[in-house]
């Protein structure tokens, strides 16, 4: 959510930002907010004037009563009653106008960073740089579901009976490798100076609307029936929500935390071959990182955060690239965002394994996350980034470490988490 001062003082900037995001249907909302803002301030002035008059007349009553002018005092009391009724009406009108302003401001997109490439959708995202040489071995790399099947590591049929489509059982060495990656990512982030946290896996609706846009919420979140609770789609939501309504001591900034959680999303299987695999599922596990910092430090943190993900995947012998998200692919609260994509030797293309975003003060403004400085309180900046989300990350490790005989080499940094195993071998041919 942007500062309404931007609409008052730089309307064209806000409109141009909307155009760059290809959301022209929202342009009339800017003018509507501007008009409503004038009305609400006018109502405020009228209410303040009436309150001042009411207070002035109230002081007269005592004087009149002391002078024995009871009738005049009673007349003023009636005037005060009328004023009180009018003040109440004005306050109700102001509340109504403010609610409409807030509702509109919640859907006007955040101001993007000037460096964001302009494009209608994710097909216009821009590759920035690659890390590691993408290789295609001379032998065939099977679909990840087939690789896992040879280890007796996946059971979606049973999961379909217990939970439905989009769920799965991981077993044996595959389950162990999955957890090894998460444990490695946890320790990696702790060594990078982040505080490890296990957050709540359910959050209230006011936290949900504080951290994401309504369309995102509808597309992603599972609601608990009969409760004001949602299952988290990523631990960023509960991690940022932790600071809701807080004035943070400047001396404690920046706050940098890494969190583990299961994640739950409505999205089902994608089209084609991936429907039978683990690429897009309802439930997965994730190591996340969040930063809350001074506004002037957010872009430096942004660059540091996505590079942490790159270095982690490179330690697992997975080639990756950084992909800059274009304006049309940028969620409304985001200032700038990029994806980290892993190389798939089977598909001979990259696929998303992480996303890094800076949201400026949008989440902080919605949730009331502030610090106090020499010039008063001000909103902080929030950032988030995927360390690793798996089983999607598991797919990348399996494909890039798959051998011709069907075995999978365990990257050196993961071996201590696998009981010292250097390779896992299939149980089936």
- Burial-class residue 406 by CB neighbours within 10 Å (0-12, 13-18, 19+): middle
In whole numbers, what is the pLDDT of the chain averaged over residues?
93
Torsional sign, CA 268, 274, 275, 277: negative
Query: pLDDT (tens digit, 9 = 90+) per residue, 297-340?
Result: 999 999 999 999 999 999 999 999 999 999 999 999 999 999 99
Show the tokens assigned to 152: 């007796």
The confidence score (pLDDT) of residue 217 equals 77
CA–CA distance, 345 with 337 (Å, rounded to integer): 26
Other Cβ atoms closer than 10 A to 384 = 25
The confidence score (pLDDT) of residue 273 equals 33
pLDDT at 270 over 50: no
Report, as an integer, the average pLDDT of 280-286. 93
Of 159-163, 186-190, 371-375, the range with the highest mean pLDDT is 186-190
Residue 223's contacts (CB-CB under 8 Å, 6 or more residues apart) are 229, 230
CA–CA distance, 305 with 303 (Å, rounded to integer): 6
The confidence score (pLDDT) of residue 428 equals 66
pTM, 2 dp: 0.90
- C-alpha Rg value of the chain to the nearest Å: 28
The confidence score (pLDDT) of residue 269 equals 41
Residue 159's contacts (CB-CB under 8 Å, 6 or more residues apart) are 167, 168, 169
Backbone φ and ψ for 287, nearest 5 degrees, come out as -105, 125
pLDDT at 249 over 80: yes
Do 396 and 342 meet the contact criterion of CB atoms below 8 Å apart? Answer: yes
Query: pLDDT (tens digit, 9 = 90+) per residue, 12-26?
Result: 999 999 999 999 999
Q: How confident is the model at residue 268 (pLDDT cuts 50, 70, 90)?
A: very low
CA–CA distance, 312 with 388 (Å, rounded to integer): 9
The confidence score (pLDDT) of residue 272 equals 34
Torsional sign, CA 265, 268, 273, 278: positive
The confidence score (pLDDT) of residue 271 equals 42
pLDDT at 82 over 50: yes
CA–CA distance, 420 with 410 (Å, rounded to integer): 9
- 3 state DSSP class of 146: helix
Q: What is the CA angle 138-141-146, rounded to 5? A: 155
DSSP string, 333-358: T-SEEEEEEEEETTTTEEEEEEEEEE
Report, as an integer, the average pLDDT of 134-156. 96
Give the sheet arrangement for strand 247-248, strand by strand: 247-248, 370-373, 376-379
pLDDT at 188 over 80: yes
pLDDT at 427 over 90: no
The confidence score (pLDDT) of residue 171 equals 97
Q: What is the CA angle 40-370-300, rounded to 5? A: 120
The confidence score (pLDDT) of residue 256 equals 98
Q: How confident is the model at residue 275 (pLDDT cuts 50, 70, 90)?
A: low
The DSSP H or E segment spanning 172 is: helix 172-191
Domains with residue ranges and CATH for the chain? 4-105 (1.10.287.40), 122-424 (3.30.930.10)
Q: At what angle do helices 172-191 and 392-400 cross, to 10 degrees?
A: 100
Residue 154's contacts (CB-CB under 8 Å, 6 or more residues apart) are 145, 148, 168, 169, 170, 171, 174, 278
Query: pLDDT (tens digit, 9 = 90+) per residue, 376-426?
Result: 999 999 999 999 999 999 999 999 999 999 999 999 999 999 999 999 999
Per DSSP, 329 falls in state G
Query: pLDDT (tens digit, 9 = 90+) per residue, 87-127?
Result: 999 999 999 999 999 999 999 999 999 999 999 999 999 99
User: Which carries the bigger pLDDT value, residue 56 or residue 342?
Assistant: 342
Residues in a beta bridge with 388 = 287
DSSP string, 388-412: EEETHHHHHHHHHTB-TTS-EEPPG
The confidence score (pLDDT) of residue 61 equals 81
Do 269 and 166 meet the contact criterion of CB atoms below 8 Å apart? Answer: yes
Unique residue bearing structure tokens 């439905």: 164
Of the candidates 384, 302, 389, 287, the one whose C-alpha atom is nearest the C-alpha of residue 342 is 389
Q: How confident is the model at residue 64 (pLDDT cuts 50, 70, 90)?
A: confident
Q: How confident is the model at residue 373 (pLDDT cuts 50, 70, 90)?
A: confident
The DSSP H or E segment spanning 209 is: helix 205-211
């Amino acid at each position: 959510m942007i500062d309404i001062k931007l609409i008052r003082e730089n309307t064209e900037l806000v409109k141009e930002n909307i155009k760059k995001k290809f959301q022209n249907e929202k342009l009339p909302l800017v003018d509507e907010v501007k008009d409503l803002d004038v009305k609400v301030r006018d109502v405020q002035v009228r209410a303040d004037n009436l309150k001042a008059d009411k207070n002035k007349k109230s002081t007269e009553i005592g004087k009149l009563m002391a002078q024995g002018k009871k009738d005049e005092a009673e007349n003023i009391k009636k005037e005060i009653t009328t004023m009180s009724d009018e003040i109440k009406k004005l306050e109700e009108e102001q509340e109504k106008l403010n609610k409409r302003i807030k509702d509109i401001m919640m859907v006007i997109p955040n101001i993007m960073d000037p460096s964001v490439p302009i494009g209608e959708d994710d097909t216009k995202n821009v590759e920035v740089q690659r890390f590691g040489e993408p290789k295609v071995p001379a032998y065939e790399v099977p679909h990840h579901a087939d690789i896992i099947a040879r280890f007796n590591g996946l059971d979606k049929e049973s999961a379909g009976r217990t939970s439905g489509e989009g769920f799965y059982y991981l077993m044996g060495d595959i389950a162990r490798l999955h957890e090894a990656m998460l444990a490695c990512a946890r320790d990696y982030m702790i060594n990078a100076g982040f505080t490890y946290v296990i957050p709540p896996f359910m959050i209230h609706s006011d936290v949900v609307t504080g951290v994401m846009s309504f369309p995102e919420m509808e597309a992603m979140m599972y609601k608990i029936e009969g409760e004001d609770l949602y299952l988290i789609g990523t631990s960023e939501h509960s991690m940022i929500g932790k600071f809701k309504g807080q004035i943070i001591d400047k001396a404690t900034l920046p706050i940098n935390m890494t969190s583990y959680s299961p994640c739950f999303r409505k999205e089902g299987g994608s089209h084609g071959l991936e429907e039978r695999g683990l690429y897009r599922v309802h439930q997965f596990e994730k190591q996340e990182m969040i930063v809350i910092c001074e506004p002037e430090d957010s872009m430096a943190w942004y660059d540091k955060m996505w590079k942490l993900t790159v270095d982690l995947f490179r330690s697992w012998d997975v080639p990756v690239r950084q992909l800059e998200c274009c304006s049309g692919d940028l969620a409304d609260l985001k200032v700038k965002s990029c994806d980290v994509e892993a190389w798939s030797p089977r598909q001979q293309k990259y696929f998303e394994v992480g996303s890094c975003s800076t949201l400026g003060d949008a989440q902080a403004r919605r949730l009331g996350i502030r610090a106090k400085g020499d010039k008063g309180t001000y909103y902080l900046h929030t950032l988030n980034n995927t360390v690793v989300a798996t089983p999607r990350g598991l797919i990348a490790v399996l494909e890039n470490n798959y051998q011709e005989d069907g075995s999978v080499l365990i990257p050196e940094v993961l071996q201590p988490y696998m009981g010292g195993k250097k390779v896992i071998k299939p149980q089936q041919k």
